[in-house]
Structure 1
Amino acid sequence: MAPFDRNRWHGHTEILKKCRLLVLNQNEKKKKFVFEIKDSIVTKLNIEYLGNIITLKGDTIKAINSISFSGELKDSNKANANVFLYSNMNKKVGYYYVGSINSLPNGVENNLLVFEYNDEICNKKTLISLKDSIPSKIFILCKEDQGDIYLFKKCDEK
């Protein structure tokens, strides 16, 4: 394994940030964008703009799904999934790290973030409201009273 290189890591995060902003600026709901990144820790990035949520204060929160595939070797890439939330001015507010690709929300409907699972493992739908505030943690139902808790990581992006 290669040693950690802080400059390479900083370049990596800047590339991811630019890709997410590009998708936000396209403003195309439910369109999936795929970025292939050469000579990087991340080799592929899938981003989907889910839509906007209007808060009770009249502010807009933009939601996107982001899946990054990373690894030193192409055949041994690992996927990480996040739900990023942005302000109307495309400033990153924060994100929920959900880990698995299958744990990402399906979209935004009626100002709610929609997580809907329909397979042999999970078969429930959870609606998350961001109208009053962004929850510090969310519980996504899988079966009956079982599910996953995801924590919100707030960002102070300048």
Structure 2
Amino acid sequence: MSGNVYVFLLFMFVSCKEARQTSTKEKEFYEKIEELVLSENKPNQEYHFEIKQPQSILEYDIVYVGSLKSRNDSIKIVYRGVLSGNMSPQYNAYLSLYTSKNKKLGKYYISSVDMPKIQNSNLIFQNSSCDLTTTISLEDNIPESIFIRCNKIKGTISGDEYTFDKEE
């Protein structure tokens, strides 16, 4: 009898451990909608998702920007803008990078920068509130960080630097 109890407890322990591991790998909502937009394969088509919440705003704007050729593969670019909050909502933006087989490589948090365009195999950033344009190539590699230029005042260029957050 005690052997059966031992086997039962061992089974429960293993089952609980597997359930915990599975739940941590569950995809976030934004990942699911990014993958949905990627599956449509329509560059520059904007998709809007709104989550109804009492006293709060949560909206997603997702755009498959297009793909760029890299040394080993093509890289798909997805822009995600998120408006969230209650009394004074904030808009934050991200650029997610995927392989040609839609495996996520990682993302850049780009604060509230306007969506980039693809031109001549480069990402082009033209922020509506900035004077300067930034061109970024992903041909050789994915940069660990990118500097998006904004203005040039007395010879000094201002802008923001964003770090690439690799997918695990």
TM range (shorter): 0.7 to 0.9
Where does residue 139 of structure 2 map in the other structure? 131
Per the TM alignment, residue 70 of structure 1 is displaced from its structure 2 partner at its CA by 2.1
Where does residue 90 of structure 1 map in the other structure? 102
Contact 2:114 2:127 in 1 (8 A): no
Per the TM alignment, residue 110 of structure 1 is displaced from its structure 2 partner at its CA by 1.4
Where does residue 3 of structure 1 map in the other structure? none
Structure 2 residue 69 is the aligned partner of structure 1 residue 49:
no
CA distance in 2 between counterparts of 1:93 and 1:104 reads: 21
Structure 2 residue 43 is the aligned partner of structure 1 residue 33:
no
1:1-158 equivalent positions in 2, closer than 5 A: 14-39=28-53, 43-57=58-72, 59-71=73-85, 73=86, 75-100=87-112, 103-119=113-129, 122-144=130-152, 145-156=157-168
CA distance in 1 between counterparts of 2:128 and 2:58 reads: 30
Residue identity (%): 36
What stretches of structure 2 of length at least 5 have no aligned partner? Answer: 1-23
Mean Cα deviation higher: 83-92 or 32-41: 32-41
TM-score of the aligned structures, taking structure 2 as reference length:
0.75
> Greater RCO between the two (CA within 8 Å, min separation 6)?
1
CA distance in 1 between counterparts of 2:159 and 2:62 reads: 24
In structure 2, what residue type is equivalent to 1:44? E
Per the TM alignment, residue 107 of structure 1 is displaced from its structure 2 partner at its CA by 1.2
TM-score of the aligned structures, taking structure 1 as reference length:
0.79
CA distance in 1 between counterparts of 2:57 and 2:37 reads: 17
Which protein shows a greater Rg?
Answer: 2
Q: CA 1:38/1:27 → structure 2, altered by over 3 Å: closer, same or farther?
A: same
CA distance in 2 between counterparts of 1:37 and 1:26 reads: 21
* Count, aligned residues: 139
Per the TM alignment, residue 143 of structure 1 is displaced from its structure 2 partner at its CA by 1.4
Contact 2:114 2:128 in 1 (8 A): no
Q: CA 1:147/1:76 → structure 2, altered by over 3 Å: closer, same or farther?
A: closer
CA distance in 2 between counterparts of 1:143 and 1:13 reads: 38
CA distance in 2 between counterparts of 1:118 and 1:140 reads: 13
Regions of 4+ moved over 3 Å: 38-42
- RMSD of Structure 2 on Structure 1 (CA): 2.2
What stretches of structure 1 of length at least 5 have no aligned partner? Answer: 1-9
